[in-house]
Amino acid sequence: MVGAEMLVAAAVNQVARKINDIVGVAQGEVKLCCNFSDDLEGIKDTLVYLESLLKNAENNSFGSDRANLRHWLGQIKSLAYDIEDIVDGYYSSKEQFEGGSYAQKGSLFCSLSNPMLLKGSMVYKMKSKREMLQQRQHLPNQYHFLSHINSAVNFEEKQTTSYRNTDIAIVGRDADLDHLFGILMQNDAEELSIIPIVGPVGFGKTSLAQLVFNDTRTEAFSFRIWVHVSMGNINLEKIGRDIVSQTTERIEENMQLQSVKNAVQHVLNKYSCLIVLDSLWGKNEEVNELKQMLLTGRHTESKIIVTTHSDKVAKLISTIPLYKLSALSEDDCLKIFSQRAMTGPGDPLFREYGEDIIRRCEGTPLVANFLGSVVNAQRQRREVWQSAKDEEMWKIEEDYPEDKISPLFPSFKIIYYNMPHELRLCFVYCSIFPKGTVIEKKKLIQQWIALDMIESKHGTLPLDVTAEKYIDELKAIYFLQVLERSQNDAERSSAFEETLRMHNLAHDLARSVAGEDILVILDAENERNARYCCYRYAQVSASSLESIDRKAWPSKARSLIFKNSGAELEHVSEVLSVNKYLRVLDLSGCSVKDIPSPIFHLKQLRYLDASSLSITALPLQISSFHKLQMLDLSETELTELPPFISNLKRLNYLNLQGCQKLQRLNSLHLLHDLHYLNLSCCPEVTSFPDSLENLTKLRFLNLSGCSKLSTLPIRLLESFASLCSLVDLNLSGFELQMLPDFFGNMYSLQYLNLSKCLKLEVLPQSFGHLCI
C-alpha cells in the first residue's frame, strides 16, 4: 500500500524547525567551531528547499515502478533524524556543562563528555551529514525519477452517482430510511433544510442516500439532483454548475462564481428540489461558503442531504440536528458477507471461520463486503478463510488484484492525503498502540510533544492546546474514538482524563504508512530472524526480547514502550543501553523494582513513565534529566518527593496519583513550568507546600482523596488566586466549609469538582462571574 517514506516531509519539517531555532546560538560560536555555522545553515537551507519537493514525492510514490523514489525518501528521512540526534546530543552536553558547578565542570573536562571534544566531533559529523544531504538532493535528477515526483498518481475517489444496482440488496437500513423520510416530508421549516448523514467511512452513508434518492416517495420533488463532492476539494463553482445543470434552467459557460451562486438560489426558490451532496469534506471556511451559497433566506420546499465522514463538517453545514448512522448488527453483516462471498452457514469452512470473520466486521458494511469478496475469490481454500479471519486488512488488499475484490482503503487513503503533514505524523504514531488498546489522551499528547511532533502555529498556542486540536480533528473523522467512562470515573475525572481507542481500520491505515518507523512486537515467535534496529518508535515485550537476536534489537528508537511485558531488568537495561537518543520511555509494564541505570545516560529524555513500578525512592541521578517534561510516578511506592525534583526546570507534567505511601512533597512549589499536577488518592500526605502561587502555568490540579488533613491550609487555598491559567481543579473529599471569594475570579476555570465536600454550605457570591 504505502510505506515509511510517507512520513518524510513531516520528519524533515520537524528537523528544519529545530535547526532554525538553534542557528542563532551556533553563529555565536563560529570562532570556536570553524565552518560549523555554515554547515548548519547549509543543512537548514537544503531541508527547507527539499520540503515542498518531498510533499509531492510522498503523494506520488506509489507503484512498483517508483521503488527508487521510495528508497530516496527513506534515505532523506534517515539523514534528517541523524542530524537532529547530533544537534540534540551536542546541545544537551553544552547545557549540562554550563549549568554545572565548578567541580562538575572539572569532571566533564576529564571525561568523554568534554564539551570541547564533543564540539569537534559534532563539527566533523555535521560536515559529513551536510555532504551526504547534498549528494542525496541531486539523486532525483541523476537517476531520472524527478518525473515521478512531478507526475501525480491519481487518487481521486470513484465518482458516486444516484444509480443503485438493485441486484445487490442494501441490508439493515430500513429504519434509517423511514426516519429520513420523516424529516424530508416536514414542510414547517422557515429555512432550507440541510440534513447531514454522518458516520465513519464504510458505514453505508452513500448507499443510504441512494436508497432515499431512488425511493418513489421522492418523485414529489420537481428535480432530484445528485452531486459528488471530491473529498477535501470543495469547488463552489463546480458544485453550483452541477446543481443547475440537472434542472431545466440554463447555465452559461462564461458565468462567474457570483452568477453561479445566484443561479443556484434561483433554482432552490423556484422549484422543490431534492439535492444530495455526497462525500462532503473540506476546510471550515469552504464548508461555510458552501452553506451560504445554498441558504436562500426564505422558505423553500427544497431539501438537501449531505453525506460526510466528519462530525465537524456535519455540524457546520447542517440546519437541523445531525443524523448519525449506527453500526449494523452482526446478523446484518452476516447477510452482506454471505451475499458477497456467495456462500453461507452450510459451508464447512464457513462454520469454522464465519463467526470470527463476522465479528471482525464490527458492524461496518464496507468491511463485510470486502471480506466477502476476498473469500469469494478462492472460497475453497482454507488459507483464504484464515486470512480473512486474522490477517491485517491492508495486507490482504495488497495481496489481491483490484479486479478480484472490492477495495477497502481508497477512501481512507484520500483522507490521509488531505491531512496536514504534521497531523499525519501524529496520526501514524497512534499505531504504536496495538489494536483495541486504551489510550490515555493526556499521555498521548505528552508523547507527541516530547517527540517534537507538535508545532504551534506562530507560537501563539501552548503545545498541549495544539495537540488537543489534533485529537479533535482525528475524533471528528472517527479515526480516534472516545471511550465511555463509568459513572464513578466520570465523577473523578474531566476532559483531561479522556480515554481513546483507535478505530481498527484507521489503525490498519496507520500501520500501512508507518512502514519501518513503528515497531510493535508483542510476540516474536515467528519473527526470530527479523532485524528491527532502524525502527524509530517501538513497543516491545519480554518474550520478543528473548526471542530476537540482540543485534536486531531497536537501536535508533526515539520512543520505547514496555507495555504489559513483564520485562526483566536485565533485558530492559540492555535495550536502553543501545538507544541513547530516546525521547519517550514507558516502563510501566516492567517487572523492575529499581529504575535501570542506563536510563541516566539518556540525555534527550523528555517523557518518563515509571507508573506502577515498585520503587520506594527516586535516585539522585534523576536530577540530571534537564530536558524532562513529563514524569509519571503514579501508583509507585514512593514515600517522598525529594528536594532535587526542583532541578527539573522543564517539567510540566507530574503525576503522583495513587502513591499510597507518599508522605512529603518537597520543592513542589519550585516547578515553575508545571502545567499538570495530580496528587489524588495519596492518603498519607501529611503536609502540603505553604503555597503554590509560583505555579502560574498550572492548568490541571487534582487533590481529591489526598492527605490525612481534613481540609486545606488557608494559605495554600488562598495561593490558588495566583493560578491564572487553571482550567481544571478537583478538591473532592475535603471538609471545606467555605471557599475564598476570589474563586469567582478564576476566569480560566472550566471544571471544578467539589463532590463529597459535605461541610461546604455556601458558595461565594463571586461564583456568578464564572463563565460556563
- Each residue of 486-513: pLDDT tens digit? 655 545 556 568 999 999 999 999 998 8
Lowest mean pLDDT among 164-168, 485-489, 726-730, 754-758: 485-489
Most confident of 37-41, 84-88, 410-414: 410-414
Q: What is the CATH number of domain 174-324?
A: 3.40.50.300
Q: In the predicted model, is pLDDT for residue 251 greater than 80?
A: yes
Mean pLDDT value of segment 215-230? 94
CB 22 within 8 Å of CB 36: no
How many CA atoms are closer than 13 Å to the CA of 461, on its beta-carbon side? 12
For residue 284, is pLDDT > 60?
yes
Q: Is the pLDDT of residue 33 over 70?
A: no
Least confident of 514-528, 556-570, 647-661, 755-769: 514-528
Q: Give the C-alpha separation, 142 to 158, whole Å.
A: 36
Q: What does the block give as the cell for 426?
A: 501524529
What is the arithmetic mean of pLDDT over 550-564? 82
pLDDT(415) > 50: yes
Taken as a whole, the chain contains a residue count of: 772
Architecture of domain 419-506: Orthogonal Bundle (1.10)
* Beta strand pairing call for 480-482 and 676-678: unpaired
Residue 114 has pLDDT above 60, yes or no: no
Lowest mean pLDDT among 60-64, 84-88, 249-253, 710-714: 60-64
> Lowest mean pLDDT: which of 74-83, 179-188, 541-550, 755-764?
541-550
Cell 473469500, residue located: 375
C-alpha neighbours within 13 Å on the C-beta side of residue 607:
22
Determine the residue type at 528. Answer: R
Mean pLDDT of the region 379-396:
90
Distance CA(722)–CA(48), nearest Å, equals 42
- Round to whole Å and give the CA distance between 607 and 583: 6
Characterize 69-102 residue by residue with b for buried, 16 or more Cβ atoms within 10 angstroms of its Cβ, and e for exposed.
bbebbbbbbbbbbbbbbbbbbbbbbbebbeeeee
Cα–Cα distance, 255 to 266 (Å, whole number)? 15
Question: Is the model more confident about 165 or about 236?
Answer: 236
User: How confident is the model over 573-586, as a mean pLDDT?
Assistant: 90
> In the chain, what are the domain boundaries?
4-150, 174-324, 330-411, 419-506, 606-769
According to DSSP, residue 567 is labeled: B
Using the structure block, give the residue that is written with the C-alpha cell 510516578.
Answer: 633
By DSSP bridging, strand 499-502 and strand 480-482 are: antiparallel
Residue 192 has pLDDT above 80, yes or no: yes
Q: Return the beta strands (E) in 606-648 as ranges.
A: 607-609, 630-632, 640-641
- CB–CB of 198/323 below 8 Å? yes
Of the two residues 61 and 371, the one the predictor is more confident about is 371
Asked if pLDDT for residue 2 goes beyond 50, the answer is no
- Which residues have a Cβ under 8 Å from the Cβ of 110 and sit 6 or more positions away? none
Whether residue 416 contacts residue 1, with contact meaning beta carbons closer than 8 Å, is answered with no
Residue range 541-560: average pLDDT? 78
- Per-residue confidence (pLDDT) for residue 85, from 0 to 100: 85
Question: Among 24-33, 295-304, 577-586, 710-719, whose mean pLDDT is lowest?
Answer: 24-33
Instruction: Record the cell numbers describing residue 460, joined without a space.
Output: 501563539
* Backbone φ, ψ for residue 316 (5° rounding): -70, -40
CB–CB of 318/194 below 8 Å?
Answer: yes
Give the three-class secondary structure for 320: coil
The closest alpha carbon to 605, from 592, 624, 633, belongs to 624
Range list of H helices, 477-568: 487-492, 504-514, 542-547
Query: Distance between alpha carbon 456 and the CA centroid of its chain, in Å?
Result: 15
Position 31 scores a pLDDT of 41
Distances (CA, A) of 494 to 442, 465, 501, 728: 11, 15, 17, 8
Angstrom distances, CA of residue 46 to CA of 16, 21, 97, 348, 640: 9, 16, 31, 61, 50
Instruction: Please name the amino acid found at residue 442.
Output: K
- Average pLDDT over the chain, rounded to an integer: 84
**Is the distance from CB of 412 to CB of 529 less than 8 angstroms?**
no
Please compute the mean of the pLDDT values over residues 666-672 and round it to a whole number: 87
What pLDDT is attached to residue 670?
86
- In this predicted model, what pLDDT tens digit does every residue of 336-386 receive, in sequence order? 999 999 888 889 999 999 999 999 999 999 999 999 999 998 878 899 999
pLDDT digits (tens, 9 = 90+) for 587-615: 987 877 788 899 998 989 999 999 999 89
Task: Determine which of 310-314, 339-343, 474-478, 684-688 has the lowest per-residue pLDDT on average.
Answer: 684-688
Whole-prediction pTM: 0.88
Residues 554-574, mean pLDDT to the nearest whole number: 78
Second CATH level (architecture) for the domain 606-769: Alpha-Beta Horseshoe (3.80)
- CA distances, 447 to each of 329, 330, 440, 511, 537 (Å): 37, 37, 11, 18, 11
The answer to whether 229 and 278 have CB atoms below 8 angstroms apart is yes
CA distance 313 to 303: 18
Neighbours of 186 (CB within 10 A): 11
Contact 317, 193 (CB under 8 A): no
